[in-house]
Amino acid sequence: MKARGKFIVGSGIIIVTLLALAYVGYTQSKTYYHTISEISTLHGAALHQRMRVSGDVMAGSIEHENGQIQFVLVENGKKLPVNYVGTDPLPDTFKDGAQALVEGRLTPQGSFVAQEVQAKCASKYQAAPIGGTMAAGKG
Amino acid sequence: MDIFGSFALLLAFLAAVYAFVGGLIGIYTRKQLLTKSARHAGMAVFGLVALAVASLEYFFFTDNFSLAYVAQHSNRALPGFYKFAALWAGQEGSLLWWSFLLALFAFLALFLNRKRHPELMPWVGVILAGVQIFFLTLNNFVANPFNVIAGTDSSGVMRMATLAHGSGLNPLLQYPEMVIHPPMLYLGYTGFTVPFAFALAALLGRYPGEKWIHITRRWTMVAWCLLGVGILLGMHWAYAVLGWGGYWEWDPVENAALLPWITGTAFLHSVMMQEKRGMMRVWNVWLVFSTFMLCILGTFLTRAGIVSSVHAFAESSIGSWFVGFLAIVLTVCLVAWYKNRDYLRSDNQLDSLVSRESSFLFNNLILLAACFAVLWGTLFPVLSEWVTGSKISVGPPFFDKVNIPIALFLLLLTGVGPLLAWRKTSFDALRRNFAWPLGIGVVCGIVAAVFGFRNFYALICLILSVFVTLTIASEFYRGARVISSRDRVNIISAVGELTMRNTRRYGGYIVHFGMVLIFIGIAGRAFSQDIQKQVSVGQSLNIGPYTIVCQNFDSPSNANYSSQRATLEVFKNGKSEMMLYPERRLFTASQVTETIVAIESSPLRDLYVVYSGIDPDTKKPVIHAFINPLVKFIWFGGIVVVLGTGLAMFPERRTALVLRAATQPSWGDAVSAGGAAPAISGPSARSGNSLMRRTDSDDES
């Protein structure tokens, strides 16, 4: 029984360490999902969280300016102006009408600063095979 | 011809239902003839599903665009190689492919054991048929790949339509790895169905002892190995095709494949505890149950779109079928375990913290912790939405923080575990086995730190990799030295002799060594660098020791795609080293672009160059270059793991020391380690132990 006790203590230490690491990783990388209509209802700390928003790229809204890219996301008639400041070139699938998922923060003016943009062509959705189109948006 | 495949698929469903119902009735009424006919029906499923697959392939090769699935995933100009692989490019086809591979495994399991284990096999057949019924239901009634395109004409009559052109295969899938990656992964997923069926059958039929583990050892290893190969191929594909410089980013789809592989790894280790010491019976049964359920969950995650990822924007109704099936499987497993739990009692207790048993326990504990962390992180958006109402996702920092320490601890156990004795290891033995390897590892670590490699985890990984490699090498050396002095052969042939006498043990060491190589490759990621720059012809960019000069831009094209290509000359120390041609292709049929990465791979580093496109403001081409150290170790390590697994499945050569005169054990029994130990089951486990220890000490003498 002694060995069993030691094993339980050892396991306990391992599990507590891993939980602590998991918590640190969680606070560093947690990202909230919001719909565009939800954004107007956010207040307080919720406004400053890192978040992901998805919507369709409004046709004709993509503008390139001084190396930055601006566009407008639409979802159920609600619009969100987005300023993309990331360094990666936008994915090939990013064009008018595409479904896009942006990740970043809201500005006090109500626009969105995105560090990351993923996109999927809306005209032709293909179900990914298992392990299939891994990170297709980054392509 | 059009309805041929459809019909075969429906018959396959009926045959599976017969195998299930007939098999169950056969078990309860003990009617041999019924059991036999159920088994035949189970085997017939394979032939019927194979006909359906052949029929769908025929439609692909004849460009029959009256079938919605063919029209969506192929076009006339698609090379034949990819027309073949287009079968599993979409949902309906990949589910059919799942059914086909499952039917193949089921057929083999039923056929190879048709004269053996008469109390066990009927149950196995019933369980396999049960799983097949689920997938064939999806194939026939939910996601039928044989659906035709139909529309109403001007008078409102429904008519079948044929499209002139298909919309083409997703160009990301037009890559050689993509032809073999899904089959490998699916073979892994479906392969775990067999050990699952045997475990559940042994439990339901209260089949004596550890026999189901002996029977399924090779099946489990094949499934584990194929799943691992599938994951590695997927990583290589992502690395070579997606052009973001990496191979793993904790995407839900990647995680979905990793989860059953982790529990499968835990299972492969913990069954040894049951074979040698009669411990962990409940644990093993649940590990194999969980592995199977994680395979189903993995298929479900990639199919249903419940976890938001780049793969899964669209949600599909198929998810509820999977949830239902998982619920049924879990219920059956729980009931089977609860009703037969006293049959799974352990023979032995843990004797010492410094023992082989305890290293296996820790191995399982942290593998399970890794599995849990990955599962938790993957499902976190769903769970957080249920609990708090807001959807929260966690990113790579979460997964890295938890899994890197776990992986390093596992690496340590890889070196320590196999050299610990069963039951209890003395301090002297520890010092004798580990002082030198660990010492040399630490010295290597210090040297690397002096030369400027100061990433903490990478250093630990280096120390442990050296340590594990040396312990493995010393195991081979010590064993071979005994043989070479006794049989008077040179040390090289003694290593061969040693390995063939105990393929299971030394194959395992080779697998461990392959994993060490993979770890080294992953640790190289800590030192990768990248640069992105706009360059026109004649301009250059610098990365690491390389200067990349842009020589030309052109646009080669063919019927399948048109492309933009950069011609780059790479200089190192002022000398021209090589030419690279990164490319972007626009596929004609699908109007989708794809990045063709130029990779110059050497054992120590990959130079990875991407043509990122033309900057819309300046109209200059953008080149993104990466230096990724040691990536080749990952792919090479994968090959070593496969070879080691293959070796571990090889029958062991009988040695002169053991009872050669004994009758040859049956196929199922010939798998126990040491060559000498007969199948250990139930009450004889203790005598088996002493026998095992004798063989072990024989190895070490």
Confidence of residue B358 (pLDDT cuts 50, 70, 90): confident
Query: Containing H/E element for B653?
Result: none
Cα–Cα distance for residue pair B687/B678, rounded to 1 Å:
10
- Are B565 and B665 contacting, i.e. CB atoms less than 8 angstroms apart? no
pLDDT in the model for residue B465: 95
Higher pLDDT, A92 or B671: A92
The mean of the pLDDT values for chain B is 84
- Please compute the mean of the pLDDT values over residues A81-101 and round it to a whole number: 79
B395 touches chain A (CB under 8 A): yes
pLDDT in the model for residue A67: 67
Instruction: Compute the C-alpha angle B526/B232/B636, nearest 5°.
Output: 70
Confidence of residue A1 (pLDDT cuts 50, 70, 90): low
Cα–Cα distance for residue pair B206/A78, rounded to 1 Å:
62
Do A33 and B400 make contact, defined as CB atoms within 8 angstroms?
A: no
> What are the residues whose beta carbons fall under 8 Å from the beta carbon of B276, sequence distance 6 or more?
B422, B673, B680, B688, B689, B692
pLDDT of B301 over the 90 cut: no
Do B90 and A127 make contact, defined as CB atoms within 8 angstroms?
A: yes
Greatest mean pLDDT among A3-17, B411-425, B435-449: B435-449
Torsion sign, CA atoms B208, B214, B218, B224: positive
- Are A137 and A119 contacting, i.e. CB atoms less than 8 angstroms apart? yes
pLDDT in the model for residue B94: 87
pLDDT in the model for residue A2: 73
Q: Give burial (CB, 10 Å; 0-12/13-18/19+) of A77.
A: exposed
pLDDT in the model for residue B54: 94
pLDDT of B346 over the 80 cut: no
pLDDT of A24 over the 60 cut: yes
Greatest mean pLDDT among A125-134, B17-26, B272-281: B17-26
Q: How confident is the model over B588-635, as pLDDT tens digits?
A: 766 677 788 999 888 899 999 998 877 767 778 888 899 999 999 999
Do B401 and A135 make contact, defined as CB atoms within 8 angstroms?
A: no
Q: State which residue of chain A sits closest to B424, comparing Cα positions.
A: A3
Alpha helices in B568-630 (DSSP H): none
Residue type, position A54, single letter: S
**How would you classify the pairing of strands A31-34 and A63-65?**
unpaired
B567 forms beta bridges with B552
- Probe site for chain B from A52, A96, A130 (most B CB atoms < 10 A): A130
Q: State which residue of chain B sits closest to A62, comparing Cα positions.
A: B616
pLDDT in the model for residue B586: 80
Query: Containing H/E element for B545?
Result: none
B residues 260..319 contacting A (CB < 8 A): 298-299, 302-303, 308, 310-314, 316
- Are B637 and B232 contacting, i.e. CB atoms less than 8 angstroms apart? no
pLDDT in the model for residue B686: 37
Tell me which chain B residues have a C-beta less than 8 angstroms from the C-beta of A131: 181-182, 185, 230-231, 234, 253-254, 256-257, 302
Q: What pTM does this model have?
A: 0.86
Cα–Cα distance for residue pair A127/A130, rounded to 1 Å:
9
Confidence of residue B388 (pLDDT cuts 50, 70, 90): confident
pLDDT in the model for residue B655: 54
Do B353 and A6 make contact, defined as CB atoms within 8 angstroms?
A: yes
pLDDT in the model for residue B687: 38
Query: Containing H/E element for B590?
Result: none
Q: How confident is the model over B660-672, as pLDDT tens digits?
A: 444 444 443 433 4
> What are the residues whose beta carbons fall under 8 Å from the beta carbon of B435, sequence distance 6 or more?
none
Q: Reduce the DSSP state of residue B29 to 3 states and report it.
A: helix
Q: Which of B243, B397, B594 sits opposite A29 (nearest CB)?
A: B397
**What is the percent of chain B where pLDDT is above 70?**
89
Do A7 and B406 make contact, defined as CB atoms within 8 angstroms?
A: no
Helix axes B252-277, B281-304, angle to 10 degrees: 170
Q: State which residue of chain A sits closest to B257, comparing Cα positions.
A: A131
Tell me which chain B residues have a C-beta less than 8 angstroms from the C-beta of A53: none
Nearest C-alpha neighbor of A10 from the set B363, B653, B538, B682 = B363
Q: Which of A22, A30, A130 sits opposite B182 (nearest CB)?
A: A130
Confidence of residue B160 (pLDDT cuts 50, 70, 90): low
Q: Looking at CA atoms only, how far is residue B36 from chain A in angstroms?
A: 36
- Please compute the mean of the pLDDT values over residues B534-558 and round it to a whole number: 88
- Probe site for chain B from A29, A69, A96 (most B CB atoms < 10 A): A29
- Are B362 and B273 contacting, i.e. CB atoms less than 8 angstroms apart? no
pLDDT in the model for residue A33: 82
Greatest mean pLDDT among B134-148, B425-439, B548-562: B134-148
Q: Which of A7, A130, A135 sits opposite B242 (nearest CB)?
A: A135
Tell me which chain B residues have a C-beta less than 8 angstroms from the C-beta of A25: 394, 397-402
pLDDT of B427 over the 60 cut: yes
B579 forms beta bridges with B569
Q: Which of B94, B238, B373 sits opposite A134 (nearest CB)?
A: B238
pLDDT in the model for residue A79: 87
Nearest C-alpha neighbor of B328 from the set B137, B90, B48 = B137
As given in the structure block, the two tokens for residue B495 are 């290593």
- Please state, as a whole number, how many other Cβ atoms lie within 10 Å of the Cβ of residue B126: 26
Cα–Cα distance for residue pair B40/B32, rounded to 1 Å:
12
pLDDT of A16 over the 80 cut: yes
Q: How confident is the model over B321-330, as pLDDT tens digits?
A: 888 999 999 9
Nearest C-alpha neighbor of B494 from the set B507, B511, B482, B503 = B482
pLDDT of B691 over the 50 cut: no
Q: Reduce the DSSP state of residue B31 to 3 states and report it.
A: coil
Q: How confident is the model over B47-78, as pLDDT tens digits?
A: 999 999 999 999 999 888 888 888 888 888 88
Choice among B94-108, B337-351, B540-554, B641-655 with the minimum mean pLDDT: B337-351
Q: Looking at CA atoms only, how far is residue B204 from chain A in angstroms?
A: 30
Do B617 and A64 make contact, defined as CB atoms within 8 angstroms?
A: yes
Q: Which of B311, B590, B613 sits opposite A136 (nearest CB)?
A: B311
Tell me which chain B residues have a C-beta less than 8 angstroms from the C-beta of A132: 173, 182, 253, 302, 311
pLDDT of B695 over the 80 cut: no
pLDDT of B314 over the 60 cut: no
Higher pLDDT, B28 or B392: B28
pLDDT in the model for residue B293: 95
- Please compute the mean of the pLDDT values over residues B565-593 and round it to a whole number: 85
**How would you classify the pairing of strands A99-106 and A51-57?**
antiparallel
- Are A111 and A117 contacting, i.e. CB atoms less than 8 angstroms apart? no
- Are A24 and B401 contacting, i.e. CB atoms less than 8 angstroms apart? yes
**Cα B75 from chain centre:** 31
Q: Which of A3, A34, A131 sits opposite B353 (nearest CB)?
A: A3
Beta strands in B334-397 (DSSP E): 391-393
> What are the residues whose beta carbons fall under 8 Å from the beta carbon of B568, sequence distance 6 or more?
B548, B549, B550, B551, B579, B580, B581, B582, B598, B609, B623
Q: How confident is the model over B234-266, as pLDDT tens digits?
A: 899 888 887 788 899 888 888 989 999 999 999
- Are B69 and B145 contacting, i.e. CB atoms less than 8 angstroms apart? yes
Tell me which chain A residues have a C-beta less than 8 angstroms from the C-beta of B366: 14
Q: ipTM of the predicted structure?
A: 0.74
B302 forms beta bridges with none
With residues binned 3-state (H G I as helix, E B as strand, rest as coil), the percentages for chain A, rounded to 5, are: 30, 35, 40
Alpha-carbon distances of A135 from B245, B313, B517, rounded to whole Å: 12, 12, 26
Nearest C-alpha neighbor of B86 from the set B166, B149, B10, B6 = B166
Q: State which residue of chain B sits closest to A67, comparing Cα positions.
A: B617
Q: State which residue of chain B sits closest to A99, comparing Cα positions.
A: B313
Confidence of residue B193 (pLDDT cuts 50, 70, 90): very high
Nearest C-alpha neighbor of B123 from the set B218, B228, B214, B20 = B20
Q: Which of A26, A121, A131 sits opposite B182 (nearest CB)?
A: A131
pLDDT of B132 over the 90 cut: yes
Dihedral class, residue A131 (left if φ above 0, else alpha if ψ from -120 to 50, else beta): left
Tell me which chain A residues have a C-beta less than 8 angstroms from the C-beta of B185: 130-131
**Cα B602 from chain centre:** 26
Higher pLDDT, A49 or A45: A49
pLDDT in the model for residue B111: 95
> What are the residues whose beta carbons fall under 8 Å from the beta carbon of A16, sequence distance 6 or more?
none
pLDDT in the model for residue B661: 43
Nearest C-alpha neighbor of B146 from the set B55, B80, B61, B74 = B55
> What are the residues whose beta carbons fall under 8 Å from the beta carbon of B140, sequence distance 6 or more?
B9, B10, B13
- Please compute the mean of the pLDDT values over residues B294-304 and round it to a whole number: 81
- Are B501 and B653 contacting, i.e. CB atoms less than 8 angstroms apart? yes
Q: Which of B88, B249, B350 sits opposite A4 (nearest CB)?
A: B350
Residue listed under structure tokens 């409940």: B282
Higher pLDDT, B346 or B289: B289
Higher pLDDT, B616 or B98: B98
B392 forms beta bridges with A32
- Please compute the mean of the pLDDT values over residues A60-67 and round it to a whole number: 78
Greatest mean pLDDT among B72-76, B467-471, B622-626, B647-651: B467-471
- Please compute the mean of the pLDDT values over residues B310-315 and round it to a whole number: 44
Q: Which of A17, A32, A130 sits opposite B391 (nearest CB)?
A: A32
Cα–Cα distance for residue pair B624/B632, rounded to 1 Å:
20
**Cα B80 from chain centre:** 27
pLDDT in the model for residue B676: 39
**How would you classify the pairing of strands B575-580 and B561-572?**
antiparallel
Going by the DSSP 8-state scheme, the letter that residue B166 receives in this structure is -
Higher pLDDT, B117 or B637: B637
As given in the structure block, the two tokens for residue B622 are 């953008």
- Please compute the mean of the pLDDT values over residues A24-30 and round it to a whole number: 84
A70 forms beta bridges with A63, A83
Residue listed under structure tokens 């790895």: B177
Q: Looking at CA atoms only, how far is residue A131 from chain B in angstroms?
A: 6
